[in-house]
Amino acid sequence: MSIETKDITVEKVKTSKIDQVDFDNLTFGSVFTDHMLVCTYKNGAWEMPKIAPYQPIVLDPSSKIFHYGQSIFEGMKAYKDKNDDVFLFRPLENFKRFNISADRMCIPQIPQEYFMDGLTTLLNIDKDFIPTKDGSSLYIRPFMFASGNGFHASPANEYKFIIACAPSGAYFSGKVKVLIEERYSRSANGGVGYAKTGGNYAGQFYPTQLAVEKGYNQVIWTDDTNHEFIEEAGAMNIFIRINDTLLTGPTSDRILDGITRKSILDIAKDQGIKTEVRKITVKEVVEAAKDGSLKEMFGTGTAAVISPISGFGYRDTDYELPELENSYGQSLKKIITDIQYNKSEDKFGWRFKVEK
């Protein structure tokens, strides 16, 4: 089902809003480009993608997204180098995961050509919105939702696939203090934890709010059965360094197959860092904190790449992590971002140039 750029209908804005964008003071995900990609699934097939001015979406009150939550999304970034060339980072991994999420939420898959050709067309049109300030990028949000109408509890017969973009500055979350959660669960075996669906994130807000009220920034999620194993950190995958070994949990029904997570594992191995992908118990992390062998904890994800954790709370006790001059987290983040911004060799073949 191949398409060409000429097959995509393009309606450009009459007047660009780029002059209103303060590229020196960009907050994450709050300023948007001139255009968006829209594609409709109707009568059992995807219609041809369209590029349209960024605008509100009009939906009937009975649209099933409002009632049964059929929605998925991805998070990606576009980077511009010193030669004004534009790059994506492992975009086919996002595309594959997008359709994995679609299957789990009983949403029709989007063809690769629609996803990739539509995205590259959109990026070429809104290329000037990609920031060039160090650490900044264009955040890309592909998403899909049930637009078909009806109150009956069943999958919709119509869907919308949209890609919207937001120029964003460097994402500095600072070091965060987290609380190991023992009551609430992010997901369960056989559930939708591995899918990027809106309900997964909505369900995190309340437990996280409770943790914030206790003085923490975020929650570390544990398994839904006995809360015995470390699983994720907020909306990010988690890595834990005990002595010189970097640990992360295996992906499952409950844990998202993070693209940054996979990349960090490959880079760490290439750098000679010992890694282990296995279940990590809360008990061993607490004991490592007590005996000093716990060196680092950090979350990984598209927005922040790596978010260092300064300490954690567990059963009314706080544990602080040491300040390291040459942490794994810092060195791994530099390597991955240098690849993303075309500042270094890409021996892994992850960088994807957006052709003009």
Identify the burial level of 339 via C-beta atoms within 10 angstroms of its C-beta, where 0-12 means exposed, 13-18 middle and 19 or more buried: buried
pLDDT per residue as tens digits for the range 281-290: 999 999 999 9
User: Which pLDDT does position 4 carry in this prediction?
Assistant: 57
| CA 156 vs CA 69, 99, 150, 192: distances in Å | 10, 17, 8, 18
The amino acid at 163? I
The CATH number given to 5-168 is 3.30.470.10
User: Which pLDDT does position 341 carry in this prediction?
Assistant: 97
User: Which pLDDT does position 173 carry in this prediction?
Assistant: 62
pLDDT per residue as tens digits for the range 298-344: 999 999 999 999 999 999 999 999 999 889 999 999 999 999 999 99
User: Which pLDDT does position 170 carry in this prediction?
Assistant: 83
Residue 76 has pLDDT above 50, yes or no: yes
Residue 132 has pLDDT above 90, yes or no: yes
Residue 1 has pLDDT above 50, yes or no: no
Mean pLDDT to the nearest integer, 68-92: 97
**Quick one: fold of 176-340?**
D-amino Acid Aminotransferase; Chain A, domain 2 (3.20.10)
pLDDT per residue as tens digits for the range 234-260: 999 999 999 999 999 999 999 999 999
SS (H, E, C) the chain: CCCCHHHCEECCCCCCCHHHCCCCCCCCCCCCCCEEEEEEEECCEECCCEEEECCCCCCCCCECHHHHCCEEECCEEEEECCCCCEEEECHHHHHHHHHHHHHHCCCCCCCHHHHHHHHHHHHHHCHHHCCCCCCCEEEEEEEEEECCECCCCCCCCCEEEEEEEEEECCCCCCCEEEEECCCCCCCCCCCCCCCCCHHHHHHHHHHHHHHHHCCCCEEEEECCCCCCEEEEECCEEEEEEECCEEEECCCCCCCCCCHHHHHHHHHHHHCCCEEEECCEEHHHHHHHHHHCCEEEEEEEECCCEEEEEEEEEECCEEEECCCCCCCHHHHHHHHHHHHHCCCCCCCCCCEEECCC
Residue 6 has pLDDT above 80, yes or no: no
Q: Domain coordinates of the chain in residue numbers?
A: 5-168, 176-340
pLDDT per residue as tens digits for the range 155-187: 999 999 999 999 999 876 667 999 999 999 999
Q: Give the C-alpha separation, 285 to 235, whole Å.
A: 20
Mean pLDDT to the nearest integer, 98-126: 97
Mean pLDDT to the nearest integer, 341-353: 97
| CA 237 vs CA 119, 131, 222, 304, 312: distances in Å | 26, 27, 12, 12, 16
Sorting pLDDT into bands at 50, 70 and 90, what band is 193? very high
Residue 109 has pLDDT above 50, yes or no: yes
pLDDT per residue as tens digits for the range 28-42: 889 999 999 999 999
Mean pLDDT to the nearest integer, 106-117: 96
- The residues near 157 (Cβ < 8 Å, ≥ 6 apart) are 42, 148
Mean pLDDT to the nearest integer, 201-225: 96
Q: Give the C-alpha separation, 304 to 254, whole Å.
A: 22
The average confidence (pLDDT) of the chain is: 95
Q: pTM for the complete prediction?
A: 0.95
User: Which pLDDT does position 3 carry in this prediction?
Assistant: 55
Cβ-contact 353, 87 below 8 angstroms: yes
